[in-house]
């Protein structure tokens, strides 16, 4: 039912060229769509933010209590069995880490550096997201998506050459690009990979990372704004945070992850009346109804993945980009 409502509401606002914000959960069971002119003060967002306005000068204390290595390894091995059976080739395994931090979610929103930020609070959900990953962008009938796969510490010797030459990282990135190329083919024409595996700098709190991305684009019909809902719902959930083949991989992850992602790895975005922009909700912190705070993170698993390195990556991705 929510799938149909999401599609209808997005199409309605798009047809009227009414500027709006939308927030959609990973499994499309939860959503929020509202005119920009009627957004409540409990919902704030920033897109393509070049700088932030610091309200705190000191670095926050961040204590992490992640899933145990034993439990993570158990899930990792179950995914490897699915890969060996041929049911999937790439699966994005995620988990939630309980954290203690001496900042509120509002302060985190104000102080973090990220391309895409949202602070969202209602009766049921309370979270902040500071994502580096654009989902899709639409300008002048051209739709583009920017999958991110592969990170490395910039201080590692020959970091860029190492990440671009890594066979496992190359395979993982290529699979995601192929998946998203196929996704765009469902809704658009003249699909092409404009940039393949380019490198950007990412601020990861105490350290700097190199992030590998690609750009895939395609052509939409001139009246694309009238079917924004059809476009979005046809390609969700995002390929970069699920795996390939997508449908089967989503089923496997639901059985093995053992928790609800909710809005984590969903998407949020803005239509300004002419152009459309959106982001994948990674780098995500939520407060549950008991007041506990969790940071959700994950990484791609392939047949070549090393469990120790993947577990370390899961924990390393729990950071604040100040």
Tens digit of pLDDT for each residue in 164-206?
999 888 999 999 999 999 999 999 999 999 999 999 988 777 7
Domain that holds residue 12: 2-316
Look at residue 232 and tell me whether its pLDDT is greater than 80.
yes
Domain harbouring 187, CATH code: 3.60.120.10
pTM of the model: 0.94
Flag whether pLDDT at 53 surpasses 80. Answer: no
Q: Do the domain assignments include residue 58?
A: yes
- Is a pLDDT exceeding 80 seen at residue 57? no
The answer to whether residue 31 is domain-embedded is yes
Distance, first Cα to last Cα, the chain: 40
Domain membership flag for residue 22: yes
Residue 131 lies in a domain: yes
Does a structural domain hold residue 322?
no
pLDDT tens for residues 264-314? 999 999 999 999 999 999 999 999 999 999 999 999 999 999 999 999 999
CA distance linking residue 205 with residue 51, whole number of Å: 15
Q: Is residue 297 part of a domain?
A: yes
Residue 56 lies in a domain: yes
β strands within the chain, DSSP E: 20-24, 31-35, 44-47, 62-65, 90-101, 116-121, 126-131, 134-139, 142-145, 148-153, 189-204, 207-219, 243-244, 267-271, 276-280, 284-287, 293-301
141-166 pLDDT, tens digit per residue, is 999 999 988 888 898 999 999 999 99
pLDDT for the residue 152: 87
Residue 321: inside a domain, yes or no?
no
Under a CB-based contact definition with an 8 Å cutoff, are residues 302 and 93 in contact?
A: no
Tens of pLDDT, residues 73-117: 999 999 999 999 999 999 999 999 999 999 999 999 999 989 999
The rounded percent of the chain whose pLDDT value lies above 90 is 86
Taking 70 as the threshold, does the pLDDT of residue 54 lie above it?
A: no
Query: Which pLDDT score is estimated for 100?
Result: 97
Tally of domains within the chain: 1
**pLDDT value at residue 60:** 84
Handedness of CA 27, 107, 296, 67 (dihedral sign): negative
What does pLDDT average to over the chain? 94
């Amino acid at each position: 039912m929510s799938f149909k409502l999401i599609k209808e509401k997005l199409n309605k606002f798009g047809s009227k060229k009414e500027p709006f914000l939308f927030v959609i959960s990973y499994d499309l069971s939860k959503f929020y769509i509202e005119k920009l002119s009627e957004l409540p003060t409990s919902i704030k967002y920033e897109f393509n933010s070049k700088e932030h306005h610091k309200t705190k000068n000191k670095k926050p204390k961040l204590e992490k209590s992640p899933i145990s290595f034993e439990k993570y390894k158990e899930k990792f091995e179950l995914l490897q069995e699915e890969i060996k059976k041929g049911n999937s080739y790439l699966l994005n395994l995620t988990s939630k880490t309980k954290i203690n931090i001496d900042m509120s979610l509002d302060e985190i929103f104000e102080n973090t550096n990220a391309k895409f930020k949202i602070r969202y609070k209602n009766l049921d959900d309370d979270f902040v997201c500071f994502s580096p990953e654009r989902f899709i962008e639409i300008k002048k009938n051209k739709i583009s998506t920017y999958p991110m796969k592969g990170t490395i510490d910039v201080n590692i010797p020959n970091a860029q050459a190492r990440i671009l030459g890594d066979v496992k990282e190359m395979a993982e990135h290529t699979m995601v690009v192929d998946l998203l190329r196929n996704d765009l083919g469902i809704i658009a024409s003249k699909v092409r990979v404009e940039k393949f595996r380019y490198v950007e700098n990412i601020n990861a709190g105490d350290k700097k990372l190199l992030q590998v991305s690609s750009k895939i684009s395609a052509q939409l019909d001139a009246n694309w704004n009238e079917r924004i809902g059809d476009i979005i719902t046809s390609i969700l959930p995002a390929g970069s945070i699920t795996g390939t083949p997508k449908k089967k991989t989503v089923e496997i992850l639901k059985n093995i992850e053992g928790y609800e992602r909710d809005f984590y790895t969903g998407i949020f975005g803005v239509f300004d009346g002419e152009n459309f922009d959106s982001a994948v909700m990674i780098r995500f912190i939520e407060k549950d109804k008991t007041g506990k705070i969790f940071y959700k993170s994950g990484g791609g698993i392939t047949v070549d993945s090393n469990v120790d390195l993947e577990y370390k990556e899961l924990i390393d991705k729990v950071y604040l980009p100040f």
